[in-house]
Amino acid sequence: MAKIGVLGAGGWALGLAILLNNNGHKVTVLSKVREELEGIRAEVENKKSLPGVKIPSEIELCDDLNRVVRESELLVMAVASPYVRSTSGEIARSGRKGLRIVNVAKGIEEKTLMTMTGIIKEEIGENADVAVLSGPSHAEEVSRGIPTTCVIGADSKEFAEYLQNIFMSEVFRVYISPDVLGIELGGSLKNVIALAAGIADGLGYGDNTKAALITRGIHEIARLGVAMGGKLQTFYGLSGMGDLIVTCASMHSRNRRAGILLGQGRTMDEAMKEVHMVVEGVYSAKAALELAVKYNVEMPIVENVNSVLFDNANPSEKVKELMLRDRKIENPDLPWET
């Protein structure tokens, strides 16, 4: 049994807390939002982020970050991506050494273009081992014990195997990988493609359109990811293609839901307010476009999503632009026999 602190009390944080509790670990969930904790205590669930899922009584709820950091063998960074830096700074100020942290937030910081593990390492320094867990894993299903498979990335195999043993169960299968960067990029960039898939749904398009967006979307993600140093195999695995499929297809996906609203004519601000949760793809979209420019990678879907989000471009016109781009060969590396 391990003592585990889950930082955050949203849907994914609670889903993982339930999984870890069911695996026999001592779990403490941290939230600095008093109203959120009071609501969970009163209702025994988070009605906003994970309605209908009761929180086991064995899981402790806490608002003292220093105490959680001091008493935990492992920290699960499950706050929304815009808050990873500030939370990491607070952890650093606790002075705790020898920390083990697994990040489950997905995003790219807009100002610095850094991944979440990069931010954690920058804030905490050499006082922590930092890994990432990602893959097709909606909290609504993980919390209910529906079979799910994810991948953990870590710099050392020993740390990866430690985390694999912590998280793995008969309903939660975990693979391990050394490609931390590729896993994070796949998990972050798929949210931008999922916005595009949602926009297509909001416009009333069909399965053909979504299949095209998923297929071409993973090509965009892989091109950028490899240019940045990620491994091609990663983008066709759980944290790339797997996560992209589930995020583009499921109504559990806040990114897809926000995209649907954009396709129906809502503004970005209106869509985000209606979803009632942080839409990670909105925060990653600008960063993805900047990275595409920096690494000289063509990403037309990402570019058009940015136009809809930040330039009030007409979604249907942007779909036409994608369809009428210059003629291409699907796989330029394949030779013609004649």
Sorted by where each starts, the structural domains of the chain and their CATH numbers stand as 3-178 (3.40.50.720), 181-323 (1.10.1040.10)
At 281, the pLDDT band (50, 70, 90 cuts) reads confident
pLDDT bin (cut points 50, 70, 90) of residue 114 is: very high
Asked if pLDDT for residue 336 goes beyond 80, the answer is yes
Contacts 24+ apart (CB under 8 A), 289-295: 290/113, 291/108, 291/113, 291/224, 291/228, 292/224, 294/113, 295/224, 295/227, 295/228
pLDDT recorded at residue 274: 85
pLDDT, mean over the chain:
93
Which alpha helices (H) appear in the chain, and where do they start and end?
Answer: 11-22, 34-43, 65-71, 84-93, 116-124, 139-142, 157-167, 180-202, 207-228, 232-235, 243-249, 254-263, 268-275, 280-294, 300-310, 315-323
pTM as predicted: 0.93
Could you tell me if 315 and 308 are in contact, meaning their C-beta atoms sit under 8 angstroms apart? yes
Taking residues 323-334, report their average pLDDT. 82
Q: What percent of the chain stands above pLDDT 70?
A: 100
Instruction: Indicate which residue of 190, 210, 286, 318 is catalytic.
Output: 190
Q: What is the pLDDT of residues 303-318, one digit of tens each?
A: 999 999 999 889 888 8
pLDDT of residue 276: 75
Tell me if residue 185 falls in helix, strand or coil.
helix
Q: What would the pLDDT profile of 188-230 be if each residue is shown by its tens digit?
A: 999 999 999 999 999 999 999 999 999 999 999 999 999 999 9
Lowest mean per-residue pLDDT among 47-56, 67-76, 176-185, 266-275: 266-275
Residue with tokens 């083990």: 100
Question: What pLDDT is stored for residue 334 in this prediction?
Answer: 85
**The predicted structure's pLDDT at residue 220:** 95
The average pLDDT across 250-257 equals 89
**231 among known catalytic residues:** no
Q: How far apart are CA 287 and CA 283, in angstroms?
A: 7
Say yes or no to pLDDT of 110 above 80: yes
Closest CA to 322 of 203, 191, 189: 203
Q: pLDDT band for position 84 (50/70/90)?
A: very high
**Range with the largest mean pLDDT of 107-111, 122-126, 167-171:** 167-171
What is the predicted pLDDT for the residue at 329? Answer: 82
Distance between CA 84 and CA 88 in Å, rounded?
6
Whole-number pLDDT of residue 338: 79
